[in-house]
Structure 1
Amino acid sequence: MRAVVTRPGEGRAWLAELDEPVVQAPDDVLVDMVRVGVCGTDRHVMARGFGPRQLPAGSDVLVLGHEAVGRVNSVGRDVRHLRPGDLVVPTVRRGCGSCPTCTADQADLCFTGAYRERGIVGLHGFLSERIVEREADLVAVPSELAAVAPLVESLTTPEKALRRIGNARAHLPLDGELHGVRRALVTGSGPIALLAVMALRLRDVETVDLARQPIDGPAARIVQDVGATYVPLAEVEMDRPQEQLGEFDAVVEATGAIEMAVPMIAVLARNGVLDLAGGGSGPTVSVDPRLFGSMVGRNLTIVGSVNANADDWRAAVRDLIAMRTRFGDAVDRLITHTFTFDDVDVAFERVPGQIKAVFDISP
């Protein structure tokens, strides 16, 4: 079968012929891939990788792709809840199998760091014609989500971020899933940031998105169309952002840029929470010690979140359905570019106006 592969550190991807996967274990499911997304993690894997455990055992290449949707082809004899024709989204992380969180189905909180991730660390990804996966690692999605289901994986990041924000405020005598979050800020204009904006608006939170893209760009239009406010970064003095932006009960930092994350501490209201949902990148920054003093005085919380657990995946499917109902075509407009296997040489390039690119593999 055809698959898009890379060798981490070589900085390129190419089309290869691999052996067909087969159902072996009784809980295995053979899945025909329908759509697979492209994201910055794929580019990182191609350029640098994530360490010596990168390649799957016995392979000298890694199949890319971790944002995917497929259709069940056939199932093992012990599969109970899936049948041929069902639409499914595969989860990404596989736990270490030994620590308390992984054995409790919370591999996103793995203590050992010995987890593996499809298309990222130690396991082939989904950018191929077919995959075999355990039933437990597949999430059923309704057929009407087929076109946008690769976004489920991206949405799990905001889902976990909001869960962490809610947990951090759970001690407050305030109602709601987010325990009194009335105003929130999201940083960034990529798929995760825009889905975070939608997730907050779905919960009727007044939301502001701060990003580099121009006010007349596609990301800004989506933000405005879902009832949030878009603020171009160029209009904000980042040494005193609170003067222009005001205060927020919660911030979801989705750029991964340290020069964006640190100033966001200043915009948090008392008992506010800053969730770092992006990786750490950017130059070394200096921090005014008074900023940390204000964290103490205002009872602020900073949390990092990565990956997601089963609850977050289910919440992502539920919310994606609700977003399409409430926000019309805004969800569909996140997918701006489509490719086929014939486009592998250009599909991983960053291009102006791109939000999410996907490979179309089969109907």
Structure 2
Amino acid sequence: MATTGKIIKCRAAVAWEPHKTLSIEEIEVAPPKSHEVRIKILASGICGSDSSALSTVLSDIKFPVILGHEAVGIVESIGSGVTIVKPGDKVIPLFVPYCGVCRSCKSTNSNMCHKNEFGSRSGLMEDKTTRFTCKGKPIHTFFSTSTFTEYTVVSDICVAKVNSHAPIETCLIGCGFGTGYGAAINTAKVTPGSTCAVFGLGGVGFSTIIGCKISGAARIIGIGYHKEKFPLAIELGATECINPKDYNKPIQEVIADMTNGGVDYSFECAGRIETMTIALESTYMGSGITVILGATPSNEKLSIDPGLLITGRTLKGSIYGGWKSQEDVPKLVTDYMAKKFKLDFLVGQTIPLEKINDAFQLMKSGAVGRNIVLF
């Protein structure tokens, strides 16, 4: 391409400071270095984690930063040593990398590659520099991806080649859908005929419901405070939905009464400490499994009665639904294009980059569906 090896000037939504609206700026994107890929972003979903970073619920995020981690795009150019993709390939950036050689990548029990950004949150490439500049200032990268920009640069362990005909909504496989769907299939390993409870009816919760249904769960209970979301939950596979405000006793007791002592599997998708405990208490005493998906502020700590675990329950966490990102994302896109599952339920509206702050406000209001930025 004509831009290969050159600095690209393009538009991006820059977060200069926490708790402030994003600013649409012209930035400079440097060419990819060795084992890096520069991507022209086609579409990017706006995820709750982006809002959590801006509000510092996710701590230690370095500002200024370009947020976004849920996208689909086209490879513009590659650095030396890159073999997994070539210019012109359609790709999904990966916020959970896959190096293929660390203990986690080699294990069948983990997908948390050691080169992830969750621990250090340096906001930099592997050489400790950034490829983004705005007004002469370096701009940090978010979760190894930074997709609220027309062009981004990622490591070659943070990109997956997908079907060239993949539509824009497949960007949601890169985080929200993949997280919830995989939590049911990979992390909990929901079994046919089982009972499930899903706490939090947002994009991740809805995706979890689909995973439970595809796994053959006989009963899937959606729990949330917004009754307007119940019809969609039912359409996606929930057998019933309940609102804790409608009962005069703890919701975990209600669920126990409904399911002969508790569900086989529960999923916390709301990111609330108190809900995590409730989800655990909602499972069956001897064998219930609870999976935590929601992110909470780093200063909040989970305190539980050890007796809940000693008597047979299991509490698990899940990052990106347990998927081996570079290996599994192309398969998920293929499954979607084969109509194995839906994604349109996650799409609220498509918007231009200039309206990204409006989309953040809609997300805070609890509106159904992800907003997708089109570039």
Aligned pairs (5 A) from 1:1-363? 1-25=10-34, 27-48=35-56, 50-52=58-60, 54-55=61-62, 61-93=64-96, 101=104, 106-107=112-113, 113-114=119-120, 116=122, 125-152=146-173, 153-158=175-180, 159-160=182-183, 162-166=185-189, 178=190, 182-206=194-218, 207-214=220-227, 217=228, 219-233=229-243, 234-236=245-247, 237-239=249-251, 240-246=253-259, 247-269=262-284, 270-280=286-296, 292-297=306-311, 299-307=312-320, 311-312=324-325, 314-319=327-332, 321-322=334-335, 325-326=338-339, 330-349=342-361, 350-351=364-365, 353-361=367-375
Tell me the residue number matched to 1:172: none
Letter of the 2:367 counterpart: G
After TM superposition, give the deviation of residue 50 of structure 1 in Å. Answer: 4.0
Tell whether the 8 Å contact from 1:7 to 1:46 is kept in structure 2 after alignment.
no
- In the alignment, the residues of structure 2 paired with residue 274 and residue 17 of structure 1 have an alpha-carbon distance, to the nearest angstrom, of 45
Letter of the 1:91 counterpart: L
Match of 2:68, SS? coil
- In the alignment, the residues of structure 2 paired with residue 109 and residue 185 of structure 1 have an alpha-carbon distance, to the nearest angstrom, of 33
- Calculate the TM-score normalised by the size of structure 1: 0.78
Tell whether the 8 Å contact from 1:8 to 1:48 is kept in structure 2 after alignment.
no
- In the alignment, the residues of structure 2 paired with residue 356 and residue 125 of structure 1 have an alpha-carbon distance, to the nearest angstrom, of 17
Which string of whole-angstrom CA distances, capped at 9 and with x for unpartnered residues, describes residues 171-207 of structure 1? xxxxxxx466722221111111111111221222232
What is the RMSD computed on CA atoms of the aligned residues? 3.7
Tell whether the 8 Å contact from 1:99 to 1:110 is kept in structure 2 after alignment.
no
- In the alignment, the residues of structure 1 paired with residue 114 and residue 269 of structure 2 have an alpha-carbon distance, to the nearest angstrom, of 18
Tell me the residue number matched to 1:174: none
Match of 1:271, SS? coil
Q: Higher mean Cα deviation, 133-142 or 190-199?
A: 133-142
Number of residue pairs matched by the alignment = 337
- In the alignment, the residues of structure 2 paired with residue 309 and residue 74 of structure 1 have an alpha-carbon distance, to the nearest angstrom, of 30
Tell whether the 8 Å contact from 2:186 to 2:323 is kept in structure 1 after alignment.
no
After TM superposition, give the deviation of residue 333 of structure 1 in Å. Answer: 2.3
Match of 2:85, SS? coil
Match of 2:45, SS? strand
Tell whether the 8 Å contact from 2:39 to 2:76 is kept in structure 1 after alignment.
yes
After TM superposition, give the deviation of residue 8 of structure 1 in Å. Answer: 4.0
Closer, same or farther: CA 48–163 of 1 in aligned 2, 3 Å: same
Which string of whole-angstrom CA distances, capped at 9 and with x for unpartnered residues, describes residues 49-103 of structure 1? 6444x32xxxx6101111111112233453333233321111114699x995489
After TM superposition, give the deviation of residue 13 of structure 1 in Å. Answer: 0.9
After TM superposition, give the deviation of residue 46 of structure 1 in Å. Answer: 1.8
Letter of the 2:200 counterpart: G
Match of 2:40, SS? strand
Structure 2 spans left out of the alignment, 5+ residues: 1-9, 125-139
Closer, same or farther: CA 313–242 of 1 in aligned 2, 3 Å: farther
Letter of the 2:279 counterpart: M
Letter of the 1:226 counterpart: L
- In the alignment, the residues of structure 1 paired with residue 308 and residue 321 of structure 2 have an alpha-carbon distance, to the nearest angstrom, of 31
- In the alignment, the residues of structure 1 paired with residue 80 and residue 162 of structure 2 have an alpha-carbon distance, to the nearest angstrom, of 22
- In the alignment, the residues of structure 2 paired with residue 114 and residue 268 of structure 1 have an alpha-carbon distance, to the nearest angstrom, of 34
Closer, same or farther: CA 184–49 of 1 in aligned 2, 3 Å: closer
- In the alignment, the residues of structure 1 paired with residue 105 and residue 123 of structure 2 have an alpha-carbon distance, to the nearest angstrom, of 13
Tell me the residue number matched to 1:170: none
- In the alignment, the residues of structure 2 paired with residue 260 and residue 9 of structure 1 have an alpha-carbon distance, to the nearest angstrom, of 27
Tell whether the 8 Å contact from 1:92 to 1:117 is kept in structure 2 after alignment.
no
- In the alignment, the residues of structure 2 paired with residue 29 and residue 200 of structure 1 have an alpha-carbon distance, to the nearest angstrom, of 35
Letter of the 2:68 counterpart: G
Which string of whole-angstrom CA distances, capped at 9 and with x for unpartnered residues, describes residues 296-316 of structure 1? 23x111112334666256445
